[in-house]
Protein backbone atom coordinates (compact mmCIF):
# COMPACT_ATOMS: atom_id res chain seq x y z
CA UNK A 1 0.00 0.00 0.00
CA UNK A 2 1.36 3.43 -0.92
CA UNK A 3 2.12 6.05 1.70
CA UNK A 4 -0.69 8.54 2.23
CA UNK A 5 0.35 12.16 2.58
CA UNK A 6 -1.50 14.85 4.45
CA UNK A 7 -0.45 18.32 3.34
CA UNK A 8 -1.58 21.09 5.66
CA UNK A 9 -2.00 24.71 4.65
CA UNK A 10 -2.74 27.17 7.43
CA UNK A 11 -4.09 30.40 6.00
CA UNK A 12 -5.51 33.74 7.03
CA UNK A 13 -6.28 36.56 4.58
CA UNK A 14 -4.02 35.38 1.74
CA UNK A 15 -6.33 35.62 -1.25
CA UNK A 16 -3.45 36.66 -3.55
CA UNK A 17 -1.31 33.57 -2.93
CA UNK A 18 -3.49 30.72 -1.64
CA UNK A 19 -4.47 29.68 -5.16
CA UNK A 20 -0.91 28.95 -6.22
CA UNK A 21 -0.23 27.03 -3.01
CA UNK A 22 -3.29 24.86 -3.69
CA UNK A 23 -2.42 24.37 -7.37
CA UNK A 24 1.06 23.18 -6.44
CA UNK A 25 -0.47 20.44 -4.28
CA UNK A 26 -3.18 19.54 -6.80
CA UNK A 27 -0.62 19.18 -9.60
CA UNK A 28 1.51 16.61 -7.77
CA UNK A 29 1.86 13.40 -9.76
CA UNK A 30 1.69 11.37 -6.56
CA UNK A 31 -2.00 10.61 -6.02
CA UNK A 32 -2.44 9.37 -2.45
CA UNK A 33 -2.70 12.84 -0.93
CA UNK A 34 -5.19 14.77 1.16
CA UNK A 35 -4.86 18.55 1.36
CA UNK A 36 -6.20 20.19 4.49
CA UNK A 37 -6.90 23.92 4.32
CA UNK A 38 -7.10 25.28 7.86
CA UNK A 39 -8.43 28.82 7.55
CA UNK A 40 -8.52 31.20 10.50
CA UNK A 41 -11.88 32.75 9.49
CA UNK A 42 -10.43 34.98 6.77
CA UNK A 43 -12.19 38.26 6.12
CA UNK A 44 -10.94 38.86 2.56
CA UNK A 45 -11.46 36.73 -0.53
CA UNK A 46 -9.37 33.79 0.68
CA UNK A 47 -12.26 31.36 1.07
CA UNK A 48 -13.58 32.23 -2.38
CA UNK A 49 -10.13 31.40 -3.80
CA UNK A 50 -10.07 28.16 -1.81
CA UNK A 51 -13.46 27.22 -3.22
CA UNK A 52 -12.24 28.02 -6.74
CA UNK A 53 -9.14 25.84 -6.47
CA UNK A 54 -10.27 22.92 -4.32
CA UNK A 55 -10.28 19.38 -5.71
CA UNK A 56 -11.53 16.02 -4.50
CA UNK A 57 -8.32 15.82 -2.43
CA UNK A 58 -9.12 19.05 -0.56
CA UNK A 59 -10.79 19.40 2.83
CA UNK A 60 -11.52 22.86 4.17
CA UNK A 61 -11.93 23.95 7.78
CA UNK A 62 -12.58 27.56 8.71
CA UNK A 63 -12.86 28.98 12.21
CA UNK A 64 -10.99 31.51 14.36
CA UNK A 65 -7.67 30.28 15.71
CA UNK A 66 -4.88 31.51 17.95
CA UNK A 67 -2.25 31.84 15.26
CA UNK A 68 -0.42 29.68 12.72
CA UNK A 69 0.84 27.06 15.17
CA UNK A 70 -2.62 26.57 16.63
CA UNK A 71 -3.91 26.13 13.08
CA UNK A 72 -1.19 23.60 12.25
CA UNK A 73 -1.99 21.64 15.41
CA UNK A 74 -5.63 21.53 14.34
CA UNK A 75 -4.55 20.24 10.95
CA UNK A 76 -2.38 17.51 12.44
CA UNK A 77 -5.26 16.41 14.66
CA UNK A 78 -7.49 16.16 11.58
CA UNK A 79 -4.89 14.46 9.37
CA UNK A 80 -5.41 10.89 8.19
CA UNK A 81 -2.09 10.53 6.37
CA UNK A 82 0.93 8.39 7.25
CA UNK A 83 3.22 11.34 6.51
CA UNK A 84 2.50 15.00 7.22
CA UNK A 85 3.95 17.95 5.32
CA UNK A 86 3.19 21.65 5.11
CA UNK A 87 2.58 24.08 2.28
CA UNK A 88 2.14 27.51 3.82
CA UNK A 89 -0.16 29.92 2.03
CA UNK A 90 2.80 31.89 0.59
CA UNK A 91 4.69 28.74 -0.48
CA UNK A 92 4.50 26.22 -3.29
CA UNK A 93 6.17 22.98 -4.30
CA UNK A 94 9.19 23.43 -6.55
CA UNK A 95 7.88 20.96 -9.14
CA UNK A 96 5.10 18.42 -9.70
CA UNK A 97 7.17 15.41 -8.67
CA UNK A 98 8.11 16.49 -5.14
CA UNK A 99 5.82 14.06 -3.34
CA UNK A 100 6.90 11.22 -5.64
CA UNK A 101 10.48 11.80 -4.52
CA UNK A 102 9.55 12.10 -0.86
CA UNK A 103 7.50 8.90 -1.02
CA UNK A 104 10.47 7.11 -2.60
CA UNK A 105 12.72 8.32 0.25
CA UNK A 106 10.22 6.96 2.78
CA UNK A 107 10.61 3.51 1.25
CA UNK A 108 13.44 3.33 3.79
CA UNK A 109 11.28 1.96 6.59
CA UNK A 110 13.64 3.36 9.24
CA UNK A 111 13.16 6.93 8.01
CA UNK A 112 11.12 9.08 10.40
CA UNK A 113 11.63 12.26 8.38
CA UNK A 114 12.51 13.40 4.88
CA UNK A 115 13.74 16.90 4.08
CA UNK A 116 15.29 18.87 1.24
CA UNK A 117 16.37 22.36 0.27
CA UNK A 118 14.35 25.56 -0.06
CA UNK A 119 14.47 28.70 -2.19
CA UNK A 120 13.27 32.07 -0.93
CA UNK A 121 11.82 33.92 -3.91
CA UNK A 122 10.71 37.49 -4.51
CA UNK A 123 7.13 38.24 -3.50
CA UNK A 124 6.72 40.14 -6.76
CA UNK A 125 8.59 37.74 -9.05
CA UNK A 126 8.61 34.09 -8.02
CA UNK A 127 11.28 33.29 -10.63
CA UNK A 128 13.81 35.52 -8.82
CA UNK A 129 15.65 33.64 -6.08
CA UNK A 130 16.62 35.81 -3.10
CA UNK A 131 18.11 33.12 -0.86
CA UNK A 132 18.94 29.46 -1.30
CA UNK A 133 18.76 27.27 1.80
CA UNK A 134 21.06 24.32 1.24
CA UNK A 135 20.32 21.92 4.09
CA UNK A 136 23.01 19.31 3.59
CA UNK A 137 23.12 15.81 5.06
CA UNK A 138 22.06 15.40 8.66
CA UNK A 139 24.48 15.10 11.54
CA UNK A 140 23.05 15.38 15.04
CA UNK A 141 26.11 17.38 16.15
CA UNK A 142 25.07 20.17 13.77
CA UNK A 143 22.09 21.02 16.00
CA UNK A 144 24.46 22.62 18.51
CA UNK A 145 25.77 24.82 15.69
CA UNK A 146 22.32 26.17 14.89
CA UNK A 147 21.53 23.76 12.04
CA UNK A 148 17.97 22.94 11.12
CA UNK A 149 16.20 21.74 7.98
CA UNK A 150 13.81 24.19 6.29
CA UNK A 151 10.50 23.72 8.05
CA UNK A 152 8.37 23.86 4.85
CA UNK A 153 10.64 21.28 3.19
CA UNK A 154 10.30 18.78 6.06
CA UNK A 155 8.00 15.75 6.00
CA UNK A 156 7.39 13.69 9.14
CA UNK A 157 5.79 10.34 9.82
CA UNK A 158 2.72 10.60 12.02
CA UNK A 159 4.30 8.71 14.98
CA UNK A 160 6.84 11.53 15.41
CA UNK A 161 4.01 13.87 16.43
CA UNK A 162 2.35 11.17 18.52
CA UNK A 163 5.56 10.48 20.44
CA UNK A 164 7.13 13.96 20.66
CA UNK A 165 4.15 16.28 20.56
CA UNK A 166 2.76 19.07 18.42
CA UNK A 167 3.77 22.74 18.16
CA UNK A 168 4.12 24.59 21.45
CA UNK A 169 1.80 27.58 21.03
CA UNK A 170 3.52 29.53 23.81
CA UNK A 171 6.00 30.34 21.04
CA UNK A 172 4.62 32.97 18.67
CA UNK A 173 7.35 32.76 16.01
CA UNK A 174 9.75 29.89 16.78
CA UNK A 175 7.49 26.92 17.58
CA UNK A 176 8.73 25.24 14.41
CA UNK A 177 12.35 25.53 15.59
CA UNK A 178 11.42 24.21 19.02
CA UNK A 179 9.60 21.27 17.43
CA UNK A 180 12.54 20.46 15.14
CA UNK A 181 14.96 20.51 18.08
CA UNK A 182 12.58 18.27 19.99
CA UNK A 183 12.21 15.78 17.13
CA UNK A 184 15.80 15.74 15.89
CA UNK A 185 17.49 16.29 19.25
CA UNK A 186 15.53 14.67 22.05
CA UNK A 187 13.70 12.34 19.68
CA UNK A 188 16.88 11.43 17.79
CA UNK A 189 14.79 10.55 14.74
CA UNK A 190 16.28 9.14 11.54
CA UNK A 191 15.96 11.61 8.63
CA UNK A 192 16.68 11.18 4.92
CA UNK A 193 17.98 14.14 2.92
CA UNK A 194 16.93 14.84 -0.69
CA UNK A 195 19.62 17.14 -2.14
CA UNK A 196 17.41 19.44 -4.18
CA UNK A 197 14.91 22.26 -3.76
CA UNK A 198 11.52 20.89 -2.74
CA UNK A 199 9.69 24.10 -1.81
CA UNK A 200 9.77 27.77 -2.76
CA UNK A 201 8.82 30.44 -0.24
CA UNK A 202 8.02 34.08 -0.84
CA UNK A 203 10.11 36.45 1.26
CA UNK A 204 8.45 38.51 3.97
CA UNK A 205 7.57 35.76 6.46
CA UNK A 206 6.24 36.19 9.96
CA UNK A 207 9.65 36.10 11.65
CA UNK A 208 11.38 38.89 9.70
CA UNK A 209 8.81 41.60 9.06
CA UNK A 210 10.32 44.09 11.51
CA UNK A 211 13.25 44.61 13.86
CA UNK A 212 10.98 43.86 16.81
CA UNK A 213 9.96 40.52 15.34
CA UNK A 214 13.58 39.65 14.54
CA UNK A 215 14.52 40.29 18.18
CA UNK A 216 11.56 38.27 19.40
CA UNK A 217 12.55 35.43 17.06
CA UNK A 218 16.06 35.44 18.53
CA UNK A 219 14.70 35.32 22.08
CA UNK A 220 12.40 32.45 21.20
CA UNK A 221 15.17 30.59 19.35
CA UNK A 222 17.38 30.89 22.43
CA UNK A 223 14.57 29.60 24.64
CA UNK A 224 14.07 26.63 22.29
CA UNK A 225 17.77 25.78 22.36
CA UNK A 226 17.92 25.92 26.15
CA UNK A 227 14.67 24.06 26.80
CA UNK A 228 15.76 21.22 24.50
CA UNK A 229 19.25 21.14 26.02
CA UNK A 230 20.89 21.67 22.62
CA UNK A 231 23.00 24.78 23.21
CA UNK A 232 22.90 28.44 24.04
CA UNK A 233 24.17 31.76 22.74
CA UNK A 234 26.88 30.15 20.62
CA UNK A 235 24.36 27.99 18.76
CA UNK A 236 22.09 31.02 18.31
CA UNK A 237 24.97 33.06 16.87
CA UNK A 238 25.96 30.32 14.43
CA UNK A 239 22.31 29.84 13.44
CA UNK A 240 22.07 33.49 12.39
CA UNK A 241 25.53 33.69 10.82
CA UNK A 242 24.86 30.61 8.70
CA UNK A 243 22.09 32.48 6.90
CA UNK A 244 24.66 34.77 5.26
CA UNK A 245 25.76 32.00 2.91
CA UNK A 246 22.16 31.62 1.69
CA UNK A 247 22.48 34.97 -0.10
CA UNK A 248 25.64 33.98 -1.97
CA UNK A 249 24.87 32.77 -5.46
CA UNK A 250 26.92 29.77 -6.68
Q: Does residue 74 contact residue 8 with C-beta atoms inside 8 Å? A: no
pLDDT given for residue 154 in this prediction: 98
CATH superfamily, domain 5-247, is Spore Coat Polysaccharide Biosynthesis Protein SpsA; Chain A (3.90.550.10)
Residues in the chain: 250
Q: Phi/psi zone of residue 225: left (φ > 0), alpha (ψ -120 to 50 degrees), beta?
A: alpha
Query: CA-to-CA distance for 29 and 99, rounded, in angstroms?
Result: 8
Domain extents for the chain? 5-247
Radius of gyration of the chain (CA): 17
- What are the tens digits of pLDDT across the range 51-98? 999 999 999 999 999 999 999 999 999 999 999 999 999 999 999 999
Q: pLDDT-based confidence at 249, cuts 50/70/90?
A: low
50 Cβ partners below 8 Å, 6+ apart? 11, 18, 22, 37, 39, 58, 60
- What are the tens digits of pLDDT across the range 168-225? 999 999 999 999 999 999 898 999 999 999 999 998 655 445 556 777 888 998 898 8
From residue 22, alpha-carbon distances to 93, 116, 228 in Å are 10, 20, 34
- What is the SS3 assignment for 204? coil
The b-or-e profile of 53-63 (16+ CB within 10 A means b, else e) is: beeebbbeebe
CA dihedral 60, 66, 72, 73 (to 10 degrees): -110
Amino acid sequence: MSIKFTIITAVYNREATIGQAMRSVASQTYENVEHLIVDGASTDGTLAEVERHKTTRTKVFSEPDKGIYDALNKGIALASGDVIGLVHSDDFFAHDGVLEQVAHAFEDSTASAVYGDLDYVSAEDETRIIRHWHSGPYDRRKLAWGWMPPHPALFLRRPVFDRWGLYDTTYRIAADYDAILRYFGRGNIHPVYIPQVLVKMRVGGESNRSLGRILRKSREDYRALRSNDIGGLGALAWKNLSKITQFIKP
